Amino acid sequence: MVLKVFFPSCCSSADSGILIGRWLSEQSSAVVLAVVHFPFIPVQVKQYLGEVQHLTKVSLSVLGSWSNSKQEKEEGLSEFLEDLGTIFSHEPWIQISKEGDSKFWSCSTLQKHSSSPKEEEVILVYYDQRKVMLSHLHPPLDTGDGRAEDASKLSAIFDTVARSRVLFMTDRYDEGPIKLTHWQSEGVEASIIVELLKQTSVPACMLLTFLLSLVSGICRSSKLSTCEQLGHRLQHLQVISSNKKAQTQTQLMRKANIFVSLLIDVALGILLMSWLYRKNRIGHLADTLIPVADHVAEELQDLLQWLMGAPAGLKMNRALDQVLGRFFLYHIHLWISYIHLMSPFIEMILWYVGLSACLGLTVALCILSDIIALLTFHIYCFYVYGARLYCLKIYGLSSLWRLFRGKKWNVLRQRVDSCSYDLDQLFIGTLLFTILLFLLPTTALYYLVFTLLRLLVVIVQGLIHLLVDLIDSLPLYSLILRLCRSYRLAAGVKFRVLEQQDGKPLRLLMQINPLSYGAVVQTYRLPTYSCYPKDSWASLCKKLFLGELIYPWKHKGEKQD
């Protein structure tokens, strides 16, 4: 039987004493947490361990003795350490000793209360107590290769060290009957100040949470990208300002990721705002906007004139072609008149819109998306008119095609049933089918052109929203933590052999394997409001072919009309 003893490397120079920690019987392992120095009273040690166990809910006990012969030269020390096993009565009693400057340690076990003691092979594993305490072990997927079982064994070790923070608050320099050696936790005073600030900020956080919930409810009622993003960020502020303590490591990391994401978002927004208001860039942008709108309108007018002729040599229905062309030209004329009417106020509008960048770069990008939507509203209207007219003809042709085959659509049962038609119905159906069929190419051409223009606008808005989603969802704090403190996000451990000699225990060094960057992003990615359609590519192509309207701003889970 192999006994694994996890020994903190920070205790390698500790004075002689006793080892306290946790015994994992199912793994035949012992996790040493600290060394209690001489002199001490056994009753006080048991009382202290009982108090710590009550606070941490970790079963702590005296595991054995530790002898540092370099510092302790007294005779009979080894016998005294062995006698402590009868007082604390732990089976097996672990004896670890360091002999001078030798790199080989001795580690043995005693079983005084066993009638047939067995010789156990001991493996001494060193671990960095500070890194193990601060790290969070991420369990791997259960693939059937035993990794999940090994991770559960390691999680018991990580959990033991992490939950023993109360034990690390007392060290060898504190006044009291118990003197301990372990990893010394730093920043205790700072943590006390932070806790006091948290307690005093509870009323302010409650008031801020109430105000944010009201504003968030107002923002949800609008379909503008800006209001959606503001509502999303307000929900983040509610999470940060909440006085509810994070229960798990995942919740704590989520709060930290949201806070860093908000901080960097606002910083980038302020940089953008400072760039816009420098060298009168707002005025130059306003002066450029009207000529660009006129140029787009001229290009659309030339496109409509081309469609009203013989586009690509195609023979179109001239009457319908002229009606549709003049209808769309009139819309362009109305839109240009509206833009020129608003031209004196555009610079002032842009000046106030630029101030919104202080709310974050994502808010500024959403405002840009809404501005593009407003400036291309005439293209959207063209797309809706063309799609509705094309959809009407497609459904009319499909219904009349069923009439020729002696079929009809049963509305109650939602299926196609057989039906007999008289001669008049067939004549009218044939006449309508012929009219719709010969008018379809003209309508389909207008629908195709305006759908392509609409898709071009949607692609530009989609790229903007992809950037917004990237900023919203990227776990920046976790990535920074992975870069600077890789041991905080542990994917597992690896063991390195230090020394091995016959008659001496095998000495291993436990090192933490950090989580990969891809796994960090996948594990701690923040949810977004995601304004992209949930349809597949096949469904989108089907809707485009049938002329059904596509709403890219529909949220996940919402039913599309």
Give the pLDDT mean for 154-175: 78
| Confidence (pLDDT) at 112 | 59
Q: For the stretch 379-407, what's the b/e string if a residue is b when 16 or more beta carbons lie within 10 angstroms of its beta carbon?
A: bbbbbebbbebbbebbebeebbebbeeee
Domain positions in the chain are 2-186, 190-276, 281-473
The tens digit of pLDDT for each residue in 386-438 reads: 899 998 988 888 888 888 777 777 777 777 777 777 788 788 888 888 888 88
Written out in words, the top-level CATH class of the domain with range 2-186 is: alpha beta
Return d(Cα 94, Cα 492) in angstroms, integer.
27
| Confidence (pLDDT) at 560 | 43
- Confidence check: pLDDT of 199 > 60: no
- Confidence check: pLDDT of 340 > 80: yes
| Confidence (pLDDT) at 268 | 92
- The encoded tokens of residue 409 equal 């659509």
Identify which of 44-53, 227-236, 464-473 has the greatest average pLDDT: 464-473
Identify which of 134-143, 285-294, 528-537 has the greatest average pLDDT: 285-294
The tens digit of pLDDT for each residue in 115-125 reads: 555 667 888 88
- Confidence check: pLDDT of 188 > 60: no
Residue 525 sits at φ, ψ, to 5 deg, of -60, 135
Q: For the stretch 234-251, what's the b/e string if a residue is b when 16 or more beta carbons lie within 10 angstroms of its beta carbon?
A: bbbbbbbbeeeeeeeeee
- Supply the DSSP string of 309-354, one letter for each residue: S-GGG----HHHHHHHHHHHHHHHHHHHHHHHHHHHHHHHHHHHHH
| Positive/negative CA dihedral, 12, 13, 14, 15 | positive
Report strand pairing: 105-110 vs 93-98.
antiparallel
The chain-wide mean pLDDT, for the chain, equals: 78
**Which amino acid, one-letter code, is at 547?**
G
Question: Radius of gyration (Cα) for the chain, nearest Å?
Answer: 37
**249-276 vs 423-473: helix crossing angle, rounded to 10:** 90
Residue 85 pLDDT level (bands cut at 50, 70, 90): low
- Would you say the pTM of this structure is higher than 0.85? no
Percent of the chain having pLDDT more than 70?
79
The tens digit of pLDDT for each residue in 225-240 reads: 888 888 788 888 777 7
Percent of the chain having pLDDT more than 90?
2
Q: CA dist 538 to 58, 256, 527, 543, 544, Å?
A: 56, 39, 26, 9, 10
Which DSSP letter does residue 27 get? G
| Positive/negative CA dihedral, 443, 444, 445, 447 | positive
Q: How many CB atoms lie within 10 A of CB 511?
A: 14
Return d(Cα 472, Cα 230) in angstroms, integer.
12
- Confidence check: pLDDT of 25 > 80: yes
